[in-house]
Each structure stands twice: as structure tokens, then as C-alpha cells.
Amino acid sequence: MCGIVGYLGKKQAAGALLEGLYRLEYRGYDSAGVAVMDENVIRIVRRKGRVKELECARHLVGNIGIGHTRWATHGSPSEKNAHPHRFGRVVLVHNGIIENAHALKEECLTRGEEFSSETDSEVIAHLIERYLTGDPLLAIKKACERLQGSYALAVLIEGKHAIYLARKKSPLLVGKGEALLVASDLPALGNISHAYALEDGQFALLKGDEIAFYDGELRPVSPKEIAFDREEGEKETLCFEHFMQKEMAEIPAVLARSEVDFATDSRFSDFYRVLCQTEYIQIVACGTAFHAGLCAKEAIERLARISCEVTVASEYRYRDPIVKENTLCIAVSQSGETADTIAAALLSKEKGAHLAALTNVAYSSLTRAADSVLCTNAGREVAVAATKSFNAQLFVLYSVARALAFSRGREAPPMQCFSALAYRALEVAEEVRSWTPFFAAAKSAYFIGRGADYVVALEGSLKLKEISYLPSEGYAAGELKHGTLALLEEGTPVVAIATNEDLAEKTMNAVHEARSRGAQIFLVTTLPGLAAREEHSVLLPPIDEVYSPLISVIPLQKLAYYTALARGNDPDKPRNLAKSVTVE
């Protein structure tokens, strides 16, 4: 969740730290802070709120420092709970959760030590200070041995002109260029020529102009350099008002560059052989990625007739899952750092599944754990609400479904020119802007559909609630009458998605039930006859129904965006949420 930055070079550190924090703000924006050391003295500035509140820290003098932008886990958003935390000579920033923090804190309190925050992170500074009798790296190692949970740490020691790093389960990268830089994600590293990722259990020391890496026993190791796209550092909205708006506009281009044929592309010959042997499929994911998995289940079972189970990753590992022989597990995560998804994926692999990572980040923790890697090539997505990454995940998953069908000698609908269809969908989706007054004034909203349209209803509901804060639910259309109709009242918005001609009239039965209870109906469809019957409708271009979520979700993404604006919200940075969920 939280974002970490670090700088060691010849320039003033404060400016570089703030620039990095702005680039990482999607990881958390409850509070932020920086620590800069000059002449062996560390000065800290922390503020509640977004990184812009830290601009006063630009005056800090010193060419070495660390910074942090927070998504609260332990302790409310406040200045006292903001990082960096200090105890004695030790100043640190932390991403992750220390599960035994309470017990460790009690131990410190027994020794008479005082705490200035409610966080789990501060206890780490106490431990390091306790063990700081010689080599700081050894003290950090001893402290880490006491920690249960996850952590990425960047540490300053007063009097030591160096940055010390440690990592377990939470991502941490190091870059080298004109300066040495540290960050939780690549865009914050800025202008670098080389980038490296710490592996689980590793430590690193940044000193002078060199980076030294160590294993869990502090033995020197050679880091593996990661390839990166220099455009990932681009952080401008260009001609768009918000990143979410820009990223929706990029969907056609994303679909064009995500195209892959697993059955014929030689780069994926090993993966295709796995598909030929696959008898069962498990998909683990969270949030929007989970909805992409549900769409994939519809396509895989219909096209390839292979059983596909989709599980919320945070539940998978706690139900003793059954993994049969020749099972393929597809772990879906935009960042590749979603802690629950990684844990579920590793458990499935441990039980014998072939693990495929579907992610937008080729250098992520998930990709390093996987047997096969399927990249979405969506480009950097900054807005917290996933849009283009969802469409890209769908495209790749549908490509997997087609390859599975091909491997069994079954026919599958051809992959159309989806980029052109998405471009047309973006155009007609602008019609939902006229719907926003109904949603902005509503107390709740509902989305309904059948089959794949039901999954799109779930995703549309999630988008609306996460950025507009309007209570919303997605339902299978046939389930509306089993309780939920009791919540409908005059003017309640109900969005129906209907792209399957065989199921359309069944969906409309639920529409009529809702309308008769006073609901205001909004329709997203590919069927002209259906669209002509509704006052508020968006008619999408025709598309094979098995692939229809690729474009039917676009009006719902737009609806969420415009409703958020109408309700006075920042669609890029919804309250209480962060882009990369690196804690369980």
C-alpha cells in the first residue's frame, strides 16, 4: 500500500524525494513525510494529507534522505502516525504490516521506552536502536528476525552517510543513474540507467555511489537487473483532466498492443504445451481482477469445456483448496504485488499447479514466482480505479480461452478488431454523462445482468462505489426478486446490461419488475431493438457475446467517472483506497 522513496547523490535530496512521492501517491495519500540528513543530523517533516502538504520540506538541506506516503493500517491518518518514524539514532520508513507489533511494543514498554505514534512501524525503529552496537546492517538483520508479517524498510542512522534496506513480501526497488534511488515502484525512480529489485529476505546498502546487496545471512550477492520501459515514468495527464479519463481513452490502444495468439506465437510455445495438458483451471485474484477472472470462466467453460474455478485470493488460502493433477492456476494482479493474490498463487503452486502470472508489471513479485508470465502491456495505470488494465486482462484471458479451445479441436469466435470496437464504445459511452444527475442525487444504485453481463454488473457497481462513494450492488438479474426488490424506491437507479440475445428478454423481466417498484432504468446493450425501448440507453457496436465485457464495461467506467465528478470527488484518488494492495 504505502510508498517508499530514497535518495543518495550530489544534489539536494528533498526535491528528489518529493518528486518520487508525487509519483507514488497512488499507493496511499493519508499522510506523507521526508527525512533528510545533513552533517550527520537528520531532520524530519511530516504532514497529514497528500504530498502537496509536504512542499514546505523543500527547504531541508542534505544530499541523502528517505520519504514515505501512507495508506493507514495501524493508527488513524495523522501527522504523528505519518512516516518517517524515529527512535534514538534510527529513522525509517516502512511498507507492510508487522503482525506481532503489539507483543514487541509491550516488550519495549517494559524496558521503559516511549512511543510517539499508534503505528506498527515505530516498533521496528526501537528494535534496530536496541541492537545498534556496531554494524547497522547487522542491527537491522537482528531486528528483522524478530518481525512477523511483511516489510519493505529504508533506514537512516544518524552519523552514517548511507541508506539501509530490507525486504520481506513488500516490493522494494533500487535505481542507479546520476544518483542512487530507492522506491516501491519503478516510476518513482525517475531518470536511471539501471534498476534492481530486492528479493525476499535480502538486504542492501547504498553508500557513496555504490549499491551492495546481501542475502539473509548478510553474505554479498549479485542482484538481478530488471528491464524497464522508460516511458513508465511518464506522469502527466496531458490534455485530460484526470488520469482515469486518460486511461479510459487509452483502452483501444491497449487492446491493440495486447494481442497475442498463444497457439501459434513461438514465444509462448512452452505455455501452449501446458494449455494442451491442462484439465482444470483455477483463477485467483482480488477486486477488479477477480471480475476479469469471472469473465474468463464464462469464456473458458463455454469455448473449451474445461472446468474453471475463480476464487477471491484472500479466501483461497484459508479453505484448504483442492488442486488436482494438470491444474493451471492463473493469478491475476495489475501490479503483481497484491499480497493476497501472491499468497494464494504460491499455495496453488505448492500443491502442484502450474502457476501463470497475468500482470501489468513484468518485474513484479508475482512474475518472479510464476512458471509462466502473461503480460497485459497496458502501460502505467495511475488512477486507483482500474479501467484499461481490466480491459487488457480480459483480452489476454480471452486469448487463453481461445487457445484452450484450439488445443481441444474446438471452434472459438475470432478475435475481432477490438480496438476499433472499443474506440466506438468510448464515443457512444459519452451519453452516460446525461445520466449522472440521477446517480448524483441517489441514495443507492443497482446493476443487473445475466451470464457475462452479470459480471460486468459487478464491475460497474464496484467502479461506482469506489470513486463516487454511492452505495451500489451488482446482481444476477434473476436474483433481484429474492430480497433486493425491497430496497427499491421511487427514483432508485437500476442499470441493466444486456448483450446476450438469448438472455435479453429474461434480463428485461427483471427490468420490468424494478420499474414497477419506481426504479429509474438505464440500459447498456448491443441490441438495437432493446435500446429503442428504453429512454435512457447506450447502444454499443455489435460484438460476439462471449467477448462483450471488453466493451460493455466502458459505459459503466464512464458513468462512475462522471458521477464522481458530479458528487465533488477526485476520481483518481478515492478516499481510504490505494492502487497497490501489498498487505493481507
CATH code (residue 539) = 3.40.50.10490
What percent of the chain is modeled with pLDDT above 70?
97
Return the top range by mean pLDDT from 51-60, 216-225, 380-389, 556-565: 556-565
pLDDT tens digits along 103-132: 999 999 999 999 999 899 999 999 999 999
Query: Do both 41 and 185 map to the same domain?
Result: yes
> Where residue 233 falls among pLDDT bands split at 50, 70, 90?
very low
Tell me: pLDDT of 417 over 90. no
Return the top range by mean pLDDT from 27-31, 262-266, 370-374, 413-417: 370-374
Query: Which of 462, 483, 490, 488 has the alpha carbon at shortest distance from 474?
Result: 462
393 vs 278, 301, 388, 411, 501, CA distance in Å? 20, 17, 9, 22, 25
Last residue of a domain, one of 204, 233, 262: 233
Tell me: pLDDT of 136 over 80. yes
**Contact (CB, 8 A) for 498 and 538:** no
Query: Do both 170 and 109 map to the same domain?
Result: yes
Lowest mean pLDDT among 4-18, 34-48, 472-486: 472-486
**Alpha helices, DSSP H, located in 70-170:** 101-110, 122-131, 136-144
Query: Do both 42 and 175 map to the same domain?
Result: yes
| Catalytic residue selected from 2, 144, 286, 295 | 2
Query: Do both 546 and 454 map to the same domain?
Result: yes
**H helix count then E strand count, the chain:** 18, 24
Query: Do both 91 and 201 map to the same domain?
Result: yes
Query: Do both 251 and 220 map to the same domain?
Result: no
Domain-embedded: residue 420: no
Domain-embedded: residue 278: yes
* Whether pTM exceeds 0.75: yes
Q: Calculate the CA dihedral of residues 418, 421, 422, 427 and round it to 10 degrees.
A: 170
Please tell me the total count of domains within the chain: 3
Query: Do both 201 and 280 map to the same domain?
Result: no
SS3 509: helix
Tell me: pLDDT of 236 over 80. no
* pLDDT of the residue at 230: 52
What percent of the chain is modeled with pLDDT above 90?
70
Query: Do both 409 and 441 map to the same domain?
Result: no
579 included as an active-site residue = yes
Query: Do both 205 and 260 map to the same domain?
Result: no
Domain-embedded: residue 583: no
173: domain CATH number is 3.60.20.10
Average pLDDT over residues 273-294: 96
Tell me: pLDDT of 413 over 70. yes
2 included as an active-site residue = yes
Tell me: pLDDT of 457 over 60. yes
> Where residue 479 falls among pLDDT bands split at 50, 70, 90?
confident
Lowest mean pLDDT among 18-22, 62-66, 230-234: 230-234
Q: In the predicted model, what is the mean pLDDT of the chain?
A: 91
Average pLDDT over residues 36-53: 91
pLDDT tens digits along 288-312: 999 999 999 999 999 999 999 999 9
Domain-embedded: residue 580: no
Query: Do both 253 and 277 map to the same domain?
Result: yes
* pLDDT of the residue at 225: 86
Tell me: pLDDT of 74 over 80. no
| End-to-end Cα distance, the chain | 10
Domain-embedded: residue 545: yes
SS3 166: strand
Lowest mean pLDDT among 155-159, 316-320, 398-402: 316-320
pLDDT tens digits along 186-223: 878 888 889 999 998 999 999 999 999 999 999 999 98
Average pLDDT over residues 134-149: 94
* pLDDT of the residue at 581: 64
Last residue of a domain, one of 199, 233, 267: 233
Tell me: pLDDT of 94 over 70. yes
User: Cell numbers at residue 533, please?
Assistant: 425501448
* pLDDT of the residue at 157: 96
Query: Do both 225 and 255 map to the same domain?
Result: no
> Where residue 318 falls among pLDDT bands split at 50, 70, 90?
confident
Q: Which helix (H) or strand (E) covers residue 100, if one does? A: none
Domain-embedded: residue 64: yes
Last residue of a domain, one of 415, 449, 475: 415
Rounded distance between C-alpha atoms, residue 123 and residue 108, angstroms: 8
Q: Which domain holds residue 540?
A: 427-574
| Catalytic residue selected from 297, 465, 573, 579 | 579
The single-letter code of the amino acid at 443 is K
* pLDDT of the residue at 484: 80
Query: Do both 202 and 254 map to the same domain?
Result: no
Higher pLDDT, 468 or 505: 468
* pLDDT of the residue at 379: 87
SS3 148: coil
